[in-house]
């Protein structure tokens, strides 16, 4: 159900942004609001508190964001509160963000390696991803996992390319178990 809610509201917000040619404006505003929802625990508690009436929550959203972000986003937030969907705002904004990134051909990649990569190595990885995907730019997230032993694991959306030595050793041991002597 939550996925349907984020898709419904996210698609509607995306359609308005596209129709009014205000994609960048909406994108930046959504990033700010999502960041507030993620980091401001008090604001999140207030939006999801069952004893605070919806009208008061709407008033807080309008006073906090009115005039600072597009009225369409404030209106959508107010509508979600009124419909009892305040707890799903973040998933709507995350879904909208993904739609905008796809539209702008911005990929998100998580690269995990056994040791930290140098700046030159990071640049090579990003260039290889640009050459082999439909994306024109990437938001790169690098992490280190020593248990990989060597190689790397790259995740783009739901696709994973795993060239780690750990995985290769696992696959080799699985094949060896199946060998009949």
Q: What is the CATH number of the domain that holds 98?
A: 1.10.520.20
**Between 12 and 177, residue with greater pLDDT:** 12
> What tens digit of pLDDT does each residue of 135-167 get?
999 999 999 999 999 999 999 988 999 999 999
Same domain, yes or no: 47 and 124: no
> What tens digit of pLDDT does each residue of 8-31 get?
999 999 999 999 999 999 999 999
Same domain, yes or no: 97 and 110: no
Residue written as token pair 């094949």? 175
Contacting residues for 162 by C-beta, under 8 A, at least 6 apart: 151, 153, 154
Q: Is the pLDDT of residue 123 over 80?
A: yes
Contact between 135 and 155 under an 8 Å Cβ cutoff? The reply is no
Contact between 141 and 110 under an 8 Å Cβ cutoff? The reply is yes
**Domain hosting residue 112, numbered range:** 105-177
Same domain, yes or no: 22 and 111: no
Same domain, yes or no: 58 and 121: no
With cut-offs at 50, 70 and 90, classify the pLDDT of residue 1. low
Name the nearest CA neighbour of 144 among 166, 169, 111: 111
Q: For residue 84, how far is the Cα from the chain centroid? A: 23
Beta-bridge partners for 139: 108
pTM of the model: 0.81
| Segment (H or E) for 44 | helix 41-48
Same domain, yes or no: 13 and 97: yes
Same domain, yes or no: 81 and 111: no
Name the nearest CA neighbour of 100 among 161, 34, 1: 34
């Amino acid at each position: 159900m939550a996925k349907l809610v984020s898709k419904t509201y996210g698609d509607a917000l995306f359609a308005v942004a596209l129709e009014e040619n205000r994609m960048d404006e909406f994108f930046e505003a959504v990033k700010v609001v999502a960041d507030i929802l993620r980091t401001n625990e008090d604001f999140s508690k207030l939006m999801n508190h069952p004893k605070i009436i919806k009208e008061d929550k709407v008033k807080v959203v309008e006073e906090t964001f009115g005039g600072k972000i597009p009225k369409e986003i404030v209106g959508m937030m107010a509508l979600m509160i009124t419909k009892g969907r305040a707890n799903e705002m973040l998933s709507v904004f995350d879904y909208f963000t993904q739609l905008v990134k796809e539209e702008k051909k911005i990929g998100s990649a998580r690269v995990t390696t056994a040791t930290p990569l140098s700046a030159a190595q990071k640049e090579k990885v990003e260039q290889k991803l640009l050459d082999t995907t439909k994306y024109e730019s990437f938001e790169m997230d690098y992490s280190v996992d020593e248990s990989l032993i060597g190689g790397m694991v790259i995740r783009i959306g739901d696709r994973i390319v795993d060239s780690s030595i750990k995985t290769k050793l696992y696959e080799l041991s699985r094949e060896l178990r199946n060998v009949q002597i």
